[in-house]
Structure 1
């Protein structure tokens, strides 16, 4: 067995573990995603030991009870006991998986990460116990599903998550190495009974496929990890190319102009569209849908208005531009706004400027049809519908724009128009309406 050292004395730890802890990004608050299994429990003890002399760092844990197995409450109680013994505050969230629209594994994973995102505050870091074996399983699973270089990059070491970020410090270490260290530290843990059920894809890879591969090629984990890093480098190059090309194709409203996009080779079109979708916080469609859907979107026929529907969003073409529209609930028909604070309306933020005289109350509505307004003070009124058409506002946006009313008069149309002379002659209403940009760093 590998020498394991004292869990409370990092100077006695193996080099691999000390290097993993030394590489942790700076943060004042670390959350450990704690399942009760050996990997997350070991990580909890390692992080607590590493920061034991630091009074400026807080270590917490978060446990998600999926309520899917009879042992779920026992696992929760075990995690609570483990944290109590270390003086670590544990956040527990119980969730219910609804009617599956995907595999149960994937549904549970998505729900779990929603909890993590909700828990993290600004600058907080979530630490996950994934290791080299997990990375190999991920890469193999994505390989058999036909993933591209982004998928074959495996799990990233770090990425943004909500207001904070996640980090996987144990990726350089194997499952066997972690278990040896945990036993040497005298740790006891709970094994999830579902981990041995080979009906689940990841478990099948873990118990049936990877052992055979490693028996024939003992260094397979290292090789798969290297391949994942090569794919990650290729993905970074692809993103750099897309970022460079988008300077001439994307406008300040995050729309893509079809004509310059269609001039690129199709492989570069797909790469640019894929990166654009990811930067909106969305998942690109599968390869088959990309091939046909992306081709339709950049068709040279200006009369076409193709639409690509994917999970949680749509891509639409209008007036030679591509728009990515996030699926959102319909805004309310009418809101009485007492003009205090910021009013969030669909993708807009409405705020009155406090340093100037402002009405005590405004009414905000969405378009119902038949509205008229006066583009110039004292001038004739015009149909709103016709004006929106002239401004080339996409049809799907017209009914979602916040329309602001004062004393029965339309005084603002989204971020497109603001009335003058409402409160003071020739002065605009002290109202600021901003369209929120959607961009994932």
Structure 2
């Protein structure tokens, strides 16, 4: 299996996730053995010290010594965070983010996951009520950001790996917390699978076949959804749900789930997708309804579904711009405001003594340039198709307590107060921003 992987990839760069346990020890040994006849292969290892065990530092020293013996470069990363809830999941996310940070360009991550691990993952997904995607468990190859995770031992049992380790007289770490059945995976490992294997000796193989079938079904479904969803995607990646009531519920939910999967976050639960369908797609009685998914919101506006990153509430914030010769940086990564002589919006200059300040909320009626009558600012936002969640992210420029402009949207009609016969009493203001874009700076491992 490992030989096949090496032949498959043009760039022979591999990073081994090395815990020091039996699985990763055998994987490291096999790669070192192959490298002797394939000098072009580049091997590195990474060890994540979780600092969760009294022997964590001893295990780290063992990994350092083993890699020195094989002349393999080793990266050490430590996790120094206090975790009280969902420990296994939180450590897994942190661990993979640290590994991803250290991956080189075109380097493949290799892990020691085997057939028993696969069946354990299958049962955990079954316990959570997962569908075919979750029941696919682990793939032999998984996209990992701009790289890949490859699991060469996924068709090998734990016993087969142990036989390899003993026959080569390898030394590895024994983590006795793996015997603690209070952890869900350990409970499945020690209490469930042995009973099933004793009753049905081929259970592990058949379980793997089921995960493979689920994976193939998921791949096929995603191929079809990728083509189908193009009809519903807008230019800014929002989802047009105007016609969703005419589609079957199952197709609607599949399209929503696939759309969310494009956002590089962990796939939401079945119940969350059902809520989006019931409360937003089907009923749509509450225009301001939002459904929170991790640090994001699903919102609906004018027959479009939006994926919105949750931001700090700044509607009561006031920022003074005293020195207009320098740019004014805005909160919430909203960019900055700058005085510009060529581009931007032309505004009347403030009078002597007037304080220029930026706010993010205004209520009531206003008269904007080009209009004969005052209108409620809410109606003006609607005319410009600005969704409710963006309205408190648009900088409003005030002179003292007088609203002058919503930058990039409108200018208040202040001709009686500010108009002059020439343009000497005007200045140009630019708002440099990326409000419409989504910023995913951290890799999220699913």
Using the size of structure 1 for normalisation, the TM-score is 0.77
Partner SS state of residue 84, structure 2: coil
Relative to 1, partners in 2 of residues 1:86 and 1:255: Cα closer, same or farther, differing over 3 Å?
same
Name 2:148's counterpart in structure 1: 165
Say whether the 8 Å CA contact 1:40–1:128 is kept in structure 2.
yes
Q: Distance in 1 between matches of 2:29 and 2:218?
A: 34
- Larger relative contact order (Cα-Cα within 8 Å, sequence gap ≥ 6): 2
Partner SS state of residue 237, structure 1: helix
Deviation of the 1:63 alpha carbon: 1.2
Q: Does 1:396 align with 2:389?
A: yes
| 1:34-73 mapped onto 2 (5 Å cutoff) | 34-54=18-38, 56-73=40-57
Say whether the 8 Å CA contact 1:348–1:435 is kept in structure 2.
no
1:342-401 CA distance string (max 9 Å, x none):
x9986778999xxx9999xxx99773559xxx9999xxxx99876543212112123335
Relative to 1, partners in 2 of residues 1:328 and 1:116: Cα closer, same or farther, differing over 3 Å?
farther
| 1:28-177 mapped onto 2 (5 Å cutoff) | 28-54=12-38, 56-102=40-86, 104-177=87-160
Name 1:187's counterpart in structure 2: 170
Name 1:288's counterpart in structure 2: 271
Relative to 1, partners in 2 of residues 1:402 and 1:74: Cα closer, same or farther, differing over 3 Å?
farther
Give the paired residue count. Answer: 408
The RMSD of aligned alpha carbons is: 4.3
Say which one has the larger Rg.
2
Q: Distance in 1 between matches of 2:439 and 2:53?
A: 38
Q: Distance in 1 between matches of 2:431 and 2:229?
A: 35
Q: Distance in 2 between matches of 1:71 and 1:257?
A: 54
Relative to 1, partners in 2 of residues 1:364 and 1:174: Cα closer, same or farther, differing over 3 Å?
farther
Name 2:254's counterpart in structure 1: 271
Say whether the 8 Å CA contact 2:337–2:430 is kept in structure 1.
no
Partner SS state of residue 276, structure 1: helix
1:118-138 CA distance string (max 9 Å, x none):
222432221111011110111
Relative to 1, partners in 2 of residues 1:68 and 1:329: Cα closer, same or farther, differing over 3 Å?
farther
Using the size of structure 2 for normalisation, the TM-score is 0.76
Q: Distance in 2 between matches of 1:114 and 1:223?
A: 32
| Aligned match for 1:312, one of 295, 301, 317 | 295
Q: Does 1:215 align with 2:198?
A: yes
1:9-61 CA distance string (max 9 Å, x none):
xxxxxxx55445545x4435321111110111111222233234555543111
Structure 1: stretches of 5+ with no match in the other structure: 1-15
Relative to 1, partners in 2 of residues 1:335 and 1:143: Cα closer, same or farther, differing over 3 Å?
farther
Deviation of the 1:202 alpha carbon: 0.7
Deviation of the 1:68 alpha carbon: 0.9
Q: Distance in 1 between matches of 2:268 and 2:178?
A: 29
Q: Distance in 2 between matches of 1:132 and 1:230?
A: 15
Q: Distance in 2 between matches of 1:328 and 1:201?
A: 35
Q: Please say which of residues 188-197 and 279-288 is displaced more in the overlay.
A: 279-288
Partner SS state of residue 92, structure 2: helix
Deviation of the 1:435 alpha carbon: 4.4
Q: Distance in 2 between matches of 1:349 and 1:30?
A: 39
Partner SS state of residue 135, structure 1: helix
Partner SS state of residue 231, structure 2: coil
Deviation of the 1:112 alpha carbon: 1.0
Q: Does 1:327 align with 2:310?
A: yes
1:251-271 CA distance string (max 9 Å, x none):
111111222223221111111
Q: Distance in 1 between matches of 2:110 and 2:200?
A: 30
Partner SS state of residue 298, structure 1: helix
Name 1:246's counterpart in structure 2: 229
Q: Distance in 1 between matches of 2:286 and 2:21?
A: 57
Deviation of the 1:289 alpha carbon: 3.4
Say whether the 8 Å CA contact 1:388–1:398 is kept in structure 2.
yes
Deviation of the 1:334 alpha carbon: 6.5
Q: Distance in 2 between matches of 1:182 and 1:258?
A: 56
Q: Distance in 2 between matches of 1:404 and 1:161?
A: 44
Relative to 1, partners in 2 of residues 1:226 and 1:346: Cα closer, same or farther, differing over 3 Å?
farther
Q: Distance in 2 between matches of 1:437 and 1:51?
A: 42
Relative to 1, partners in 2 of residues 1:438 and 1:238: Cα closer, same or farther, differing over 3 Å?
farther
Say whether the 8 Å CA contact 1:132–1:225 is kept in structure 2.
yes
